[in-house]
Amino acid sequence: MEAVQQLEIDYTTVVPESADGLLAVVVPGTIEASVTSPLRIGLAMPVLGDAHAEVWRTDLPIERGVDGAVVWSSAGDLLVGAIAVADAGPIAARADDSYRSVISFVRRAGFPNILRLWNQFPRILVQNDGLERYQAFCTGRYAAFESAGYSLEGDLPAASAVGTSGDGLLVTVVASRRSAGYFENPRQVSAFHYPRQYGPKSPSFARASRVETEGGALIFVSGTASIVGHVSLHCGDAAAQVDETVENLRLVYGAAAGRELRSLREAAGALYRIYVKREEDLETIRERFLPRIGDDATCLWLRGDICRAELLVEVEMIGRE
Ligand code: 3EB
């Protein structure tokens, strides 16, 4: 008998009609999170290439619900939730509100271990009152984690924060009943230890997280870019940024997998989301990136703004061990 799969993620061009076995679908388009079956998580970013939906399937019975502004779906030990809030007033306050809601919800629901957060909001690099909106977002996120009792060092989930062309803040969460492991990259300063020059409060995320499931370990690698130490490298050079990013992914994935990878091709069946800042760099980035990953890997290419102006590409991964 095949092992029960708690979570399988595929890409399709057509969103399935039936909700059977669908934990969530991540659909490029407007930001939306609703409890219409299955949970539909909008991506306010254009897809570069064939339009694909990311389909999250499970063999386990699914529960779905709404809790305040959080819509959610769970199967076994895993829960997926999303909260969409209007981008009114300061982004720091919206980040603080939405994180408080998410953290309190996952705790009440019995899935207190947050594995992964995706943050999407527009005008990420626009300055307001001397702070970029991304930096303001980081202050609100930090405040929410702090007030929830996080140590903000070694107990933070994997994440990404990407600038969209939509409106509103969308936060998506994956959380577990089981405790998770959190991992860092030996050649990068942990984001939660970035120096003050990157903003008044450091970004609250781990480089990767890992949880055991019925079907093996699930690994989430955070948005990863051309950063060594805490410094962005290869400004203006998309191909060189890909090389640096691939090296970071290889090391972070290896840390979470507990084995050294000679190349990303050894992360069998991994899923990659690639955020490209300027569409004119797409071909350069594809040609450089695709030979570095396995033939069995799956990619979703999106047009999104990266949270440092000089970064042209960011890549995140989901893997199984
Ligand atoms: C970096 O390594 C690039 O603020 O949640 C990557 C992943 C980045 C997550 C976040 C930011 C975030 O600092 C930017």
Query: Does the bond joining 61 to the residue before it have cis omega, within 30 degrees of 0?
Result: no
pLDDT at position 11:
80
99-119 residue pLDDT tens: 999 999 999 999 999 999 999
- 37 C-alpha to ligand 1 centroid (Å): 31
pLDDT at position 1:
37
- 90 C-alpha to ligand 1 centroid (Å): 20
Is 64 within 8 Å of 39 (Cβ atoms)?
A: yes
Looking at ligand 1, which residue's alpha carbon is closest to its atom 14? 307
pLDDT at position 28:
79
CA angle 129, 135, 137 (to 5 degrees): 100
Q: Which domains does the chain have, with CATH numbers?
A: 7-320 (3.30.1330.40)
Looking at ligand 1, which residue's alpha carbon is closest to its atom 12? 160
pTM: 0.96
273-317 residue pLDDT tens: 999 999 999 999 999 999 999 999 999 999 999 999 999 999 999
The answer to whether residue 314 is catalytic is yes
Is 138 within 8 Å of 146 (Cβ atoms)?
A: no
- 310, 314, 316, 321: the catalytic one is 314
pLDDT at position 250:
98
Which amino acid, one-letter code, is at 184?
Answer: E
Strands (E), 256-297: 271-276
Which amino acid, one-letter code, is at 58?
Answer: T
Among residues 285, 227, 235, the alpha carbon closest in space to that of 252 is found at 227
Which amino acid, one-letter code, is at 300?
Answer: L
pLDDT at position 31:
67
- 46 C-alpha to ligand 1 centroid (Å): 20
201-237 residue pLDDT tens: 999 999 999 999 878 999 999 999 999 999 999 999 9
| Ligand 1 and 227: CB distance under 6 A | yes
d(CA 52, CA 40): 13
Does the pLDDT value for residue 268 go beyond 70? yes
pLDDT at position 14:
77
115-162 residue pLDDT tens: 999 999 999 999 998 899 999 999 999 999 999 999 999 999 999 999
| Ligand 1 and 223: CB distance under 6 A | yes
